[in-house]
Amino acid sequence: MNTFTILLLATAVVSCIARPSDMPNWLGTFTLDDSCNQAECCCLAEQATISKIRDTQLLITANVAGAPCREQLNGSTTISVALPIPQDKGGYQITANFLGTNNRFTLNSDSQYIANVNIQFPKCSGSAQRAVSNWIGTFNVDDSCNQNECCCLSERVTITKISDTQLLVSARAVGQTCPSELNGSVEIPIPMPQDKNGFQTTVDFLGSMNRFTLTYDNQYIANANLQSPKCSGMARRA
């Protein structure tokens, strides 16, 4: 067997092995478009989150909106629906009963978009794009943190990336409980957020446990101080 033949065989073998990046990834949070007709359909709205509940099932959790939802869902504005793990088209497609009608869900090749075709009522179809977290930038901090009892971030906070695993939070710090050594400012590294598909992290920050949550449109960060709620706050992208 000559070298050329060996190379051809090796190429064929490699091409038959599915790399992780080529595998469908349905899991995550997706932002929905407004193409579903809410006047006539019960539509998924705003965001939908897909999680894995077992090796054979996914769970779709989402907001819903539309005139028929009141009767169909007894007034509920959210749904949690289990679906089988998709098997059609190499795992990129599934046809299933969803909210009472047959729907075909198709994930695109890079797992960034989901197209939903309602087979019985096409006007109830829609699509969704994967929501990707972006913590980096400058945010204006509100005044809800109680400076008389807390050490609070103030005015503006800037978040930069210092490595693939860490962010750096830089801000002014004011309040009665701020240590003197801070000298009015902080630069605190925190791990790259991993919770809620990258939209949330819980860390020790200025001496207490804080949960930081980025909204799915990447415009707001909510900070919940888990030990001292009066020291919580909010920031909006500048």
Instruction: Kindly state whether residue 13 falls inside one of the protein's structural domains.
Output: no
Mark which of 72, 106, 130 sits at the end of a domain.
130
Mark which of 130, 149, 165 sits at the end of a domain.
130
Clarify whether residues 111 and 197 are in a common domain.
Answer: no
Structure tokens, 85? 């793990």
Distance of CA 4 to the CA centre of its chain: 47
Residue count of the chain, please give it: 238
Average pLDDT over residues 87-106: 95
Clarify whether residues 184 and 148 are in a common domain.
Answer: yes
CATH code of the domain containing 151:
2.40.128
Please give the share of the chain, as a percent, with pLDDT higher than 70: 91
Mark which of 130, 146, 167 sits at the end of a domain.
130
Question: How many folded domains does the chain comprise?
Answer: 2
DSSP annotation of 145 reads: S
Clarify whether residues 39 and 109 are in a common domain.
Answer: yes
Domain of 150, in residue numbers: 137-237
- Residue 52, SS3 per DSSP: strand
Q: For residue 50, with 0-12 CB atoms within 10 Å meaning exposed, 13-18 middle and 19 or more buried, which class applies?
A: buried
Q: What is the pTM of this model?
A: 0.70
Of 1-15, 56-70, 90-104, the least confident: 1-15
What are the two backbone dihedrals, phi and then psi, of residue 145, each rounded to the nearest 5 degrees? -70, 130
Instruction: Kindly state whether residue 9 falls inside one of the protein's structural domains.
Output: no
Phi-psi domain of 7 (left: phi exceeds 0; alpha: psi -120 through 50; beta: other): alpha
Clarify whether residues 216 and 162 are in a common domain.
Answer: yes
Instruction: Kindly state whether residue 6 falls inside one of the protein's structural domains.
Output: no
Structure tokens, 185? 């400012």
* H or E segment to which residue 105 belongs: strand 101-107
Clarify whether residues 102 and 173 are in a common domain.
Answer: no
Among the listed residues 132, 71, 73, 65, the one whose alpha carbon sits nearest the alpha carbon of residue 99: 73
Query: 190-227 pLDDT, tens per residue?
Result: 999 999 889 999 999 988 999 999 998 899 999 999 99
- Residue 132, SS3 per DSSP: coil
Q: Cα–Cα distance between 70 and 189 in angstroms, integer? A: 46
